[in-house]
Amino acid sequence: MWLIYFSSQNYFSVCSGLLSAEGVRRYRHLTGCSRSSTMTAEAQITLAPDAVICTEAVLTGTVTIGAGTVVHPAAEIRATNGPIIMAENNNVEELAVIENLNPDGETMFIGRDNVFEVGSKVQAARIGNNNVFGVRCFVGPQTTVTNGCSVGVKCSAVMKEVLSENVVIYGETQTSRTASEPPLIQSGQLEYLRKVLPSFHYLAQRASP
């Protein structure tokens, strides 16, 4: 059985990985929160045991979060047109928006070890492993991102294309090149965040069996 609960105050739990409308109402009553926090009434959320999801984040639709992934306050993961399945050890920073706009209800798959930096907006059809989406960058729904790519600060990728491995987009002119190596995996930063964030934020997480 799956349980999702809000830590620190043991606010409530719900079965089967779903947060019901009643659960949302109870959460808002207990916390005094009037806006949608973490999960809307329609959300169907499945969390790995050690995923760290701050309740100030917004998750909508059918979303699966893998082990070790961190979702910061004010981040948004919106399964608008279809489910989102996110693998392990991703870092979704403040104000980042990940949205599935795939046609025909197709699932948006996101691999492991990706970083979505502050204010990035990513609607890519599919995302592989170990990519970095820079501050306030934009990736449109017609773009597929493979592995080891970097989209720089305020850069965009909006064409109907597949970004091949280790592609870097950078600068005011949106220059594109292929790097000799993929970005470094930020395992140390993630480990630190998993330790620190629970001290300052309520979390939505799967309960221990």
Q: How many angstroms separate the Cα of 189 from the Cα of each of 107, 134, 193? A: 28, 16, 6
pLDDT in tens, 86-113: 999 999 999 999 999 999 899 999 999 9
pLDDT, position 193: 86
Distance in angstroms (rounded) separating the CA atoms of residues 112 and 185: 10
Q: Quick check: 15 pLDDT over 70?
A: no
On whether the CB atoms of residues 6 and 26 are closer than 8 A, the answer is no
pLDDT in tens, 158-180: 999 999 999 999 999 999 999 99
pLDDT over 90, % of the chain: 62
Which tokens go with 188?
A: 């140390």
Phi then psi dihedrals of residue 47, to 5 deg: -120, 140
Q: What is the DSSP letter of 208?
A: P
Residues forming a β-bridge with 108: 84
Query: DSSP string covering 157-202, please?
Result: E-SSEEEPTTEEEETTTTEEEE-SSPPPP-HHHHHHHHHHGGGTS-
Which tokens go with 114?
A: 């990706």
pLDDT over 70, % of the chain: 75
pLDDT in tens, 122-135: 999 999 999 999 99
Q: What is the mean pLDDT of the segment spanning 57-81?
A: 95
pLDDT, position 79: 98
* Residue keyed to tokens 């630190």: 192
pLDDT, position 38: 55
Q: Quick check: 29 pLDDT over 80?
A: no
Q: Quick check: 3 pLDDT over 90?
A: no
User: In degrees, to the nearest 5, what angle opens at C-alpha 115 toward C-alphas 136 and 73?
Assistant: 70
On whether the CB atoms of residues 81 and 60 are closer than 8 A, the answer is no
Q: Quick check: 207 pLDDT over 80?
A: no
Phi then psi dihedrals of residue 169, to 5 deg: -115, 125
